[in-house]
Structure 1
Amino acid sequence: MKKISTKLLYIMPVVALIAFYACKPIASKFSSPVGYDLEHPEKFNMPESLLEISGIAFYKGMPDTIYSIQDEEGSVFRQKWDVKTQKNVRFAGKGDYEDIAIFNEKVFVLKSNGHLYSFPFSETVKEKAENVKERKKLVPKGEYESLYADPETNKVYVLCKSCPVDKKKKTSTGYVLNYDLKLDSLIPESSFSIDLEQIKALNPKLKASLSPSALTKNPKTKEWYILASANKLLVIADENWKVKEVHRLNSSIYNQPEGIAFDKDMNLYISNEGDELTNGNILRFKYSTSVKK
């Protein structure tokens, strides 16, 4: 009996220690910006036609209809949330289309080579857009995937994914275009750059690299939300492009994040391209003042 009691004296602290760590919550390596829980989205699976969904946008922030593109067809798709049936308008032939923005009653689509297409928003209900403009040489040669149009300033932002100007520097460069509503004209205005060393400063485990795949602006805070599909990151920068936060994205949720947008209710949406095993999808994150970092 004594021997059993002595053994129990040794075993019980070990059992207690195991129980303590089993009950203790494991710290997640993934994080979220204030107001959003990036680990628990509502998911809307796309039809086969949008397996390779890329950019997403809303008309005046209204969440009743989602407008999207996919990176092989020169079409803009529209559908209701959680309704797979889509309708689309063709604006160009096959190509590598990466992002979409809607403002000033115009639809803008970014091609990976930096060309911008535009046509009247009223033509999204047609089978083929009739008044399409292809705008070339507005930005230097490079690879582009990120587009944002600001209705408050009439400025259009195009961010490099891979550009010669960034090859020997730890930066991601972007370009600002001024939109003249009367002339329906885009005029190059200035450039900006994101210092990628700031990413590593915030999280030493990460590389000072980005390869942005989508861009939007938080309508409340005016912060920039920048997606990086290859690195599975959401980077948040202030109005002057200084990096404030870096959030790693869970690859089991984010297969290939290629599009990002806010609606007028501050809800956040991220689109994911699919593959042979996974459907393309759009994830919705309801804005909540109770969600902290």
Structure 2
Amino acid sequence: MKNLLFSLLMLPTGCSSPATGAADSTAAEAALPVQTVSQRTAPPAPTAAMAYDFTRPAATYAMPAELAELSGIALAGSTHITGIEDETGNLYEFNLSTQKVDRVIPFGGSGDYEDVARVGSDWFIMRSDGKLFRYSGSQTQEYETGLSFANETEGLTYDAASKTLLVACKDEPGAGLSFGQRAIYRLNPETFKAEAKPAYVLDVEAIRGSSPVAESSAGESGKKGKKKGSGKGFSPSAVAVHPVTGHVFVLSAKQNGIVELDKNGQLLAAQSLPVDLFPQAEGLAFTPSGDLYVATEAGKKSSQATIYLFRPQGL
């Protein structure tokens, strides 16, 4: 398995210099062609609606106090979810049966860690300044991805079909894209450098136009709430690839929404999340069968972060 997953044992241990953010791109980088994916500006057809009802979780898991700032999750087999929080360099192994943290694993120093992905037996952790960490159980290696704090790298996931990592940028998209767009980059499996052209491009206006509740997010578990100004933009906080369809799901904490793209990057659906369940949605993780875990940080009314399980409807 490891031989197929990034040739992990043969990777170099050195780190190259980070690339600058979108505002500081070199002339050569700015001249690179950008293959922007076109997206629908009309609302998606009913048949393209998401398969998940985000007002009705199948299970709810309250996180301990040390995970109040829960910022990313990944599955660790069928019995555990591993989470990180955005202040300390620790992995937290949460037992889904006992609903307790079984083990805390230090992998690095203090830092703004945003997401985590599992590849074989190794853990990859993304920091907001574009630096990638790989923890192999005995040591931690660091890699410069070429992305920077200007991009605000908040989402990380493993794409099994391409055997690569995907990184979602919350802020500047880079690659000559406009600020009305958001980018998801694929990392080279040998160097972990971001490819010059984004793998997926999100158009904020298209997302707003495709969401039936773009300007008035759901309030209490599906009931209409007050307008929250969700039109300000879509800022990715997590990304995950559906193991069956290959569709890409992108979460936005700031606007409290989620979108679904097909394999080619076409926008299929966009919807808001109920604010009583998701004060700040930060993490996504799929099971092999397509069940979806969504994590949220603690809100103003609750001191606990929470992970919810959602099962596909109609199955």
Q: State the TM-score, normalized to the length of structure 2.
A: 0.72
Partner of 1:225: 249
Displacement of 1:168: 4.5
The answer to whether structure 1 residue 203 and structure 2 residue 211 are counterparts is yes
1:96 alignment partner AA? D
Given candidates 134, 142, 153, the residue that maps to 1:118 is 134
Q: Counterpart in 2 of 1:153?
A: 162
Cα contact 1:103–1:151 (8 A) shared by 2: no
The number of equivalent residue pairs is 245
Whole-Å separation in 2 of the counterparts to 1:251 and 1:245: 19
1:248 partnered with 2:272: yes
Distance 2:261 2:84 in 1: 25
Whether 2:125 is the aligned partner of 1:109: answer yes
- In the other structure, the counterpart of 2:182 is 172
Counterparts of 1:266-285 in structure 2, within 5 Å, are 266-275=290-299, 277-278=301-302, 279-285=304-310
Q: How much is the aligned-residue C-alpha RMSD, in angstroms?
A: 2.1
Q: Indicate the residue corresponding to 2:225 in structure 1.
A: none
1:65 pairs, out of 80, 90, 112, with: 80
Q: Which amino acid aligns with 1:199?
A: I
User: Structure 2 CA distance, aligned partners of 1:273 and 1:65?
Assistant: 19
Task: Give the drift of 1:266.
Answer: 1.4
Which 5+ residue runs of structure 1 have no aligned equivalent? 1-31, 124-129
Query: How far, CA to CA, are the matches of 2:108 and 2:188 in structure 1?
Result: 24
Counterpart for residue 96 of structure 1: 112
Q: Which amino acid aligns with 1:223?
A: H
Which residue is 1:22 aligned to? none
2:80 maps to a residue whose letter is T
Per-residue CA deviation, residues 225-257 of structure 1 (Å, 9 max, x unaligned), is 110011010111112222110111110111111
Share of identical aligned residues, percent? 27
Of residues 18, 39, 44, the one that matches 2:61 is: 44
CA–CA distance in structure 2, aligned partners of residues 40 and 55 of structure 1:
21
1:188 aligned residue:
194
Question: What's the CA shift for 1:36?
Answer: 2.1
Q: 1:57, CA displacement in angstroms? A: 0.4
What is the match of residue 45 of structure 2? none
**Preserved CA contact (<8 Å) 2:240 2:284:** yes
SS of the equivalent of 2:54 reads: coil
Amino acid at match of 1:209: G
Q: Give 1:174 deviation, angstroms.
A: 2.4
Inter-CA distance 203–188: structure 2 relative to 1 (3 Å threshold): closer
Of 51, 54, 75 in structure 1, the residue corresponding to residue 90 of structure 2 is 75
Does structure 1 conserve the Cα–Cα contact (< 8 Å) formed by 2:92 and 2:101?
A: no
Alpha-carbon distance between aligned partners in 2 of 1:63 and 1:157, rounded to the nearest angstrom: 23
Greater Cα shift, 168-177 or 257-266? 168-177
Query: 2:297·2:306 contact (CA, 8 Å) conserved in 1?
Result: yes
Q: Does 1:262 align with 2:286?
A: yes
Residue 85 of structure 1 aligns to a residue whose secondary structure is strand
Q: Map 1:130-149; keep pairs closer than 5 Å.
A: 130-140=138-148, 141-149=150-158
Question: Counterparts of 1:3-18 in structure 2 under 5 Å?
Answer: none
CA contact (8 A) 1:103 1:150 kept: no
Identify the residue that residue 35 of structure 1 maps to in structure 2: 51
Residues 173 and 191 in structure 1, CA contact (< 8 A), matched pair in contact too: no
Residue 87 of structure 2: SS of its match in structure 1?
Answer: coil
Preserved contact between residue 173 and residue 183 of structure 2 (Cα < 8 Å): no
Partner letter of residue 249 of structure 1? L
The Cα shift of 1:202 comes to: 1.4
Per the alignment, do residues 50 and 33 of structure 1 end up closer, same or farther by CA in structure 2, a change over 3 Å counting? farther
Residues 245 and 164 of structure 1: is their aligned pair in 2 closer, same or farther, counting only changes over 3 Å? closer
Q: Deviations over 1:91-127 (max 9, x none)?
A: 111111000001133210000111100021xx2xxxx
